[in-house]
Structure formats: C-alpha cells, structure tokens
Amino acid sequence: MRCIALTLCSVMLVACAGNPTTGWSTESAWPDDVRTIAIEAVKNDTYHREVGPELTKALIEAVERRTPFKVTDELTADTLLTVEITDVELSSIAQSAYTRLDQEVLVQLTIDWRWEDLDDSRLLAGSRGFSGNGLFVATAPSNEPIQVGKRQVANRLAEDLVDRMHAAW
C-alpha cells in the first residue's frame, strides 16, 4: 500500500509544470520580483465620503490575506496600487407596498485602479470602470444603515481587485 502511495506522489510531482503559466505547478503564481506593495488612500471625490477609507482598509486586508505581498509604505515598496472612486450609485431593488419606502437598496461602486512597478513605472495591471455592488435592507425589521451596503461593496470589490491582480500573472 505504501508503495502505491509513493508511486502516486511521484507521478503527481512529475506531472506538475515548473512554471505556473504553463500548467499545474507547485510554484507561486505571483511574480517573484515583487515582495511588497504600497496602497495609497483611495481617492474619492463623490458625495459618499466614508466609502473611501472603507475600501482602503478592505484592500489592505485582502492583499495581506490573499497574496504573498506585504503592505508597506511607498518609499520601501516594490509596487504601488492606486484606486480612485469614480461613482457611487444607490438603486432601489424593492419597495414596500404599503409605505412605498425602499426596502432593499443596492450600493454600486465604480473605480479606476492601477498597479505599477515602482522601479520602472511599468503597469502590471489596471482597469477603468471596474465596479461591484453590495446590498442593505433599509426598512423594518432589519433597519440596516447604508454603511452595511458600503462595507459589503468595499469588501467584495477588494476581493475582486485582488483576483484581477492575480489574473494579470
């Protein structure tokens, strides 16, 4: 039985590619020359001011949790991530038949982002008009504040942005 297990392990290791871009690999799918990333405070010129710091916090947490990179300051970082909020929209999904008040509201956040190498200013990844959404229930019995939807959209957008960064490699 032990012989079969060893044989299977050796076959699996031989089947793996040395480079993650050419197939299954035990190597990291992230660039080897990048170890640190600086994340600027998210720029936000919209009416919804508190969503900028919420997205900045969510980005830092997502990068540190889901990538091999350490978030640091711009002076010591290998790369820089800049994000600008271009639009925040609130859309009613459902209204109460009795009061006509919004029951479920969708918060849609649209951003432009750039991830660049600080050594040579090379663009590693980026996108304009990148968006995500979050939902909150504004009426009884939940009575959720709008911050619930904004927190949800910031967390989702941060996760999606890290996925896009990874897809660039």
Question: Which domains does the chain possess?
Answer: 1-30 (no CATH), 31-167 (3.30.160.150)
Residue 22: CB atoms within 10 A of its CB come to 8
In the block, tokens 């590693």 appear at 124
Please give the share of the chain, as a percent, with pLDDT higher than 90.
Answer: 56
pLDDT at site 62: 97
Counting every residue written for the chain, the total comes to 169
DSSP 115-137: EEETTT--EEEEEEEEEEEEEEE
Q: What is the pTM of this model?
A: 0.78
Between 14 and 49, whose confidence is greater? Answer: 49
In the prediction, which pLDDT does 95 show? 77
Q: Are 35 and 69 a contacting pair, CB within 8 Å? A: yes
Contact (CB, 8 A) for 164 and 127 = yes
- Quote the CA–CA distance of 26 and 168 in Å, as a whole number: 19
Name the least confident of 85-89, 132-136, 143-147, 161-165: 143-147
Average pLDDT over residues 9-34: 55
- Tell me whether the omega of the peptide bond preceding residue 141 falls within 30 degrees of 0, making it cis: yes
> For residues 38 and 16, what is the distance between their CA atoms, to the nearest angstrom?
33
Handedness of CA 125, 72, 63, 24 (dihedral sign): positive
Mean pLDDT of the chain: 84
Give Cα 108 to chain centroid, integer Å: 15
